[in-house]
Structure 1
């Protein structure tokens, strides 16, 4: 009988129980969806690098000899060493395309190729193994011929295999934000199959080993002009790892917020149910139903609905959300097919949610079921003990409506507190969703309207002074040097970007407050790099170009905010004064003459519109998550405000019936009800805005270190969050206030007779 009654109660109170269902659904949906997505990426990523034996370290130099390899292999912490040569090539008669051609000296046991089509790699095989994504974009297939230009020397080879490389999971160049697979690729070839270019200079060593490899390699090759890059610092590894961590943290933050609000909804729903069934509880007790049976009966309502919502939400999130996010990830990263993967024990979350609902329901039930039948029946008609309002001298000048509502708020502290917390959660989620979205969009504006003001960037080889000067005149531009560097400070080392600028006309620098600064001497260091190394303005640091052996000592004159390039910025005039070589890698300025960009000296031409599009693509996943959270925030606000408004109506039902008997018009009682809801909404908004701001900062802090995003909250985020919540509260209050017309004064006042 009690089971049938439970289903009848749930159906009769379907709106609040639907609220419980939806909140539990939302929390579990986000949790299982994002954990399934990031864990699927993590498993695919780590499985891939283990399968292909990604190098533990790379040593970059000019010309490694067999003796260097022998010395390294003698060290017990180094398992294996392979040498190879990196040559920059381009397909013949094709503009703006570059292929990194690797010449292998033997077997490919470190950073192995993953063959998708064609022959497996062998040191005895003739031909080229080509980047599978580049091949797809440019219509190359196995057995096709490809002709490459390597520094003026031509080679023509058959494509014997299409492959992936673990070193090209994330590959960008020339200041790009997303990989350009159509114009940039890689290829591998055996040493014995590339006689056309003459003597090969082995400029890379791949190391497999354990321990402090950087120190081991530096000590072993002491005196050589080399740079060591560890696996954790390699772009493909670090960026992918940071992406996984970011999704993990964002998903956990929002899931916990939704589950917290879900518990609040559960508390109010159980309160509402038990409050409306005081008479039934008293009758059931007087008929001899044991307290334990009633406890089980009333906690089963919310527990059943919570379990149902949690299970459905968990399953739906795990199935659907990864499918929405994976296509965006596949645009950015080159990995084997991504599949969602369950985090160990995550399936226990629905059970944990149900148990938590059970515990909360038990605590609420205890308040209503602890008394005997007579007291429960009598308490329904007993007025609450009158208590003087705190700080009464402040309230005595209020109107009747104000005094009534203040007294009701303080007499029902739990309901009032939950309403404020519910509104706070709604506002915080709305505000942080808008904040995340606006900050991402602002990053694009900040990058291309304030920091990088040039319209075109032409990257290439500028050894020909005549050509360089023609291009500079055509673009009304200036020279730019972009490369990588190593920084040392207080025993810490960090790889960073180096940017040499001719002036600050096209690349501008801003401090932490957004104030434009003028760099005249010394260096400017990005905030992210400075924070990593604990560097402040005025400190001196050691740095060198990657691959060079000459260190420079510089004073940090400014710490600047740069959205995408984290590292050192220095003026060309300062570099010349200190004898630091300036090698032009790009020319920036206006759009150049097309005849000049068709030159063999030019590698790529990037326009501002293309860069903006690429940056938007990179931020797509975060934008999609912010939209998802925005939808759930609106749902949350609607549900919790309606639920709490209904509870408030039920708790004040007898009071409003009394007012009607005293002659108060329905419109005056409606005003009384709406006023209190608006007061509590204002309190929730006041707390919710700073909470939402903190939540925005917390989410943006999960972004990888290679990106610096400023917290940008435009006026519309405040306006929509405040007015949207007010409108929602007012609409729900108006909807609920219509029930006042249906108050039965006789039954309300004589319910216990």
Structure 2
């Protein structure tokens, strides 16, 4: 602690900690020694109280929810936990800031390989001579965003300051451990020395005697043998002391906490969506607003002309409409800012399950509000100014007369005589009107295409995020478990133990390492490297397919095969050189042979020949990739416990099902957010369609009244408008499909994390759903228009303004 606090601003707190087995199901538990709830990583008690007595324990609230433990229950640890007592009374349940994601508690090398929950007992109950965990805090980092690059950079700087101090502390600690060990061994050394001196003295005396010499010599020989055995044990103890006296420090930051990085990644994905969707929402909203305000001013031509004739200035007339648009804009901005900042985030967070956070902290996003306000006023006040400044340039007599309708022109479709001649009269009228009102047709197509694209993008994001896990565990990874031996020499016995299980199908041995890779000045940490003992057999367990050609890839005798994300991040391609540093510090520059498809994580693959060629040494083969028959969660737990119990050389077991669950959880967490965007997209699409249809009818009310007078039935009058809407909707939906794919691709690119690739995936049914929604909106709008057109006062509409 003193060593850590040598760094400026550092505050250290020591904790006794270890992984143990306990509970009804022999769960892997992260066990902490509790002293008080002050300082770092304070527990939040959800029920009960903190441990006050030596026989009390407080459990993770996850144990209460998933394992159904209750206050007052007795909790028992396995003997291997080496605690001062094995049974404890459960007095409370709590949350810890070390575990923010309720779906995971990290991994370990005992039990199933997955930590089930954490627990705290009194520190005095843990049979540990010293603390095993040191938490270090820097006040200067407390206010930084823990997921920002600035924070990560600052943390790395602090770690780099701590490491040299602990390198020096390592030597001091080694000397302390040796001194303490030798102090404990010194009485035994002194006893052996004294015993040896007595034997030596006895032998000297025996040489001077003649009677009883044979019997005494035999006794002294036996005593000497016993002393030699004790000396051998003492020597072995000193040798073991020398080996274990060097302390090992494992460094970790918040990024290494279970679920912490996943939380940041989820936030980044939501941010990526939130940085794209509002832009398109706003464009559609601006389209509606601009069209509505423009139409409002244009419909007031006669009133503007009257004001001009009465002597009102252009400024006074313009102010009337600009003030209205400004007031509408300001009210919309105020209401949208309040609802958008306070209610919508709370609603999203309430649906976003899985984390320990219960009370959202919401801040007003003033920069975004300012941008939205400026753009909103442009769409409202700007539209009013644009139209009114054109209107006031005309003379009063022109303004007081209705605007002359656009003259009909020959459309390009008429050039295809064979097709035009086959169309009905009503169809010809509709197509003429489509080309006659080009701007309105364009806005309708744009509105429908935008709505379709947003709905399709919402579904596409959900599909694509889920596709990462599905493709990783069905198209790339073809094994169900990884079993690690504690020594390469014991791998055969471990394989024999594993193969005796009824669920066992096959296995292949591999060497593994976690390495760092560099290229073009960029670096990636925590890259998993596999060296296949049997390269041809290995491809049955990990399907390697080229990114460029999708062809099957085999491990070459020279060069390295890397996953797609490594290549994209470091700018690599086949033939590029890659600098690799192993966990033990061995370095090599290896040419990239192939880039293969991979969707989650960073992986590198080598043949034994390629590894030896690069590093001038062979890698220890101490891991098995195991293919199993279908296993359930319970049988998976039983398998893991059986392997660990039956063979002491099994260091750890992990299952791909646990990784799959984590990925699926990531996808499920996005579902509420995506559904909200789909819902809002649908509402906005309906409003756009309704608004444009309403404007279309109001602009052409004289035309529609005329055809009613000429004898068109109500249904025919409605179809006069609806037929145009249907054609525009079909075009808009088709265009929206294209926009939807492009928008989804862009959002996924923004949402990708450092380790995950999201393949563009939109299932066919969502195209159908988006189409049906647009058809439904169109039908509703047509029915509303039909009711409106049935009630049109033809005489009032056709009355001359003069």
Question: TM-score normalised by the shorter chain: which range applies?
Answer: 0.7 to 0.9
8 Å Cα contact 2:545-2:551 kept in structure 1: yes
Give 1:646 deviation, angstroms.
1.9
Q: Deviations over 1:549-588 (max 9, x none)?
A: 3335444333233333233345689769961123327744
**Stretches of structure 1 lacking an aligned partner (at least 5 in a row):** 1-65
User: Could you tell me which residue of structure 1 aligns to residue 196 of structure 2?
Assistant: none
User: Could you tell me which residue of structure 1 aligns to residue 515 of structure 2?
Assistant: 485
Give 1:305 deviation, angstroms.
4.8
Distance 1:326 1:720 in 2: 26
Give 1:505 deviation, angstroms.
3.0
User: Could you tell me which residue of structure 1 aligns to residue 192 of structure 2?
Assistant: none
User: Could you tell me which residue of structure 1 aligns to residue 592 of structure 2?
Assistant: 556
Matched, 1:156 2:88: no
Give 1:705 deviation, angstroms.
2.2
Matched, 1:752 2:801: yes
Distance 1:133 1:181 in 2: 17
Q: Deviations over 1:191-216 (max 9, x none)?
A: x875x456x69697958595745665
Within 5 A, what are the aligned runs for 1:261-300? 261-283=284-306, 286=309, 291-292=314-315, 294-299=317-322
Distance 1:476 1:175 in 2: 25
User: Could you tell me which residue of structure 2 aligns to residue 91 of structure 1?
Assistant: 21
Distance 1:291 1:395 in 2: 51
Distance 2:373 2:394 in 1: 31
Within 5 A, what are the aligned runs for 1:177-576? 183-185=116-118, 194=126, 196=127, 212-213=157-158, 238-283=261-306, 286=309, 291-292=314-315, 294-299=317-322, 303-327=326-350, 329=352, 331=354, 333-334=355-356, 337-344=359-366, 352=374, 355-356=377-378, 357-380=380-403, 382-384=404-406, 398=420, 404-405=429-430, 408-454=433-479, 456-457=480-481, 465-474=492-501, 475-478=504-507, 484-498=514-528, 500=530, 503-512=538-547, 515=550, 517-521=552-556, 522-546=559-583, 548-570=584-606
**Stretches of structure 2 lacking an aligned partner (at least 5 in a row):** 141-153, 171-247, 646-650
Change (3 A) 1:327 1:160: same
Give 1:524 deviation, angstroms.
3.3
Change (3 A) 1:683 1:361: farther
Matched, 1:725 2:774: yes
Distance 1:489 1:172 in 2: 34
Q: Deviations over 1:402-426 (max 9, x none)?
A: 6655554454343233212211211
TM (normalized to structure 2)?
0.69
Matched, 1:649 2:697: yes
Q: In structure 1, the residue corresponding to 2:274 is in which secondary structure?
A: helix
Q: In structure 1, the residue corresponding to 2:722 is in which secondary structure?
A: helix
Change (3 A) 1:627 1:563: same
User: Could you tell me which residue of structure 2 aligns to residue 691 of structure 1?
Assistant: 739
Change (3 A) 1:311 1:255: same
Q: In structure 2, the residue corresponding to 1:476 is in which secondary structure?
A: strand
8 Å Cα contact 2:544-2:553 kept in structure 1: yes
Distance 1:481 1:83 in 2: 37
Give 1:471 deviation, angstroms.
1.9
Matched, 1:714 2:763: yes
8 Å Cα contact 1:142-1:161 kept in structure 2: yes
Change (3 A) 1:429 1:747: same
Distance 1:439 1:708 in 2: 9
Change (3 A) 1:185 1:477: farther
Q: In structure 1, the residue corresponding to 2:561 is in which secondary structure?
A: strand
Q: In structure 2, the residue corresponding to 1:509 is in which secondary structure?
A: coil
Change (3 A) 1:373 1:341: same
Q: 1:116 aligns with which of 26, 34, 44?
A: 44
Q: In structure 1, the residue corresponding to 2:19 is in which secondary structure?
A: strand
Give 1:161 deviation, angstroms.
9.2
Give 1:645 deviation, angstroms.
1.3
8 Å Cα contact 1:484-1:496 kept in structure 2: yes
Change (3 A) 1:361 1:184: same
Q: Deviations over 1:507-546 (max 9, x none)?
A: 4334446936334235432222322222222333233444
Give 1:631 deviation, angstroms.
1.5
Q: In structure 2, the residue corresponding to 1:601 is in which secondary structure?
A: helix
Give 1:696 deviation, angstroms.
0.8
Change (3 A) 1:426 1:139: closer
- The farther-off stretch of 201-210 and 721-730 is 201-210
Change (3 A) 1:290 1:180: farther
Give 1:375 deviation, angstroms.
1.4
User: Could you tell me which residue of structure 2 aligns to residue 60 of structure 1?
Assistant: none
TM (normalized to structure 1)?
0.73
Distance 1:172 1:558 in 2: 36
Alignment RMSD, CA only?
4.9
User: Could you tell me which residue of structure 2 aligns to residue 601 of structure 1?
Assistant: 644
Give 1:107 deviation, angstroms.
12
Change (3 A) 1:162 1:490: farther
Distance 2:284 2:770 in 1: 17
Give 1:172 deviation, angstroms.
5.2
- The farther-off stretch of 426-435 and 138-147 is 138-147
Matched, 1:582 2:617: no
Distance 1:180 1:300 in 2: 67
| Count of residues in correspondence between the two structures | 670
Give 1:378 deviation, angstroms.
1.9
8 Å Cα contact 1:328-1:620 kept in structure 2: no
Q: In structure 2, the residue corresponding to 1:378 is in which secondary structure?
A: coil
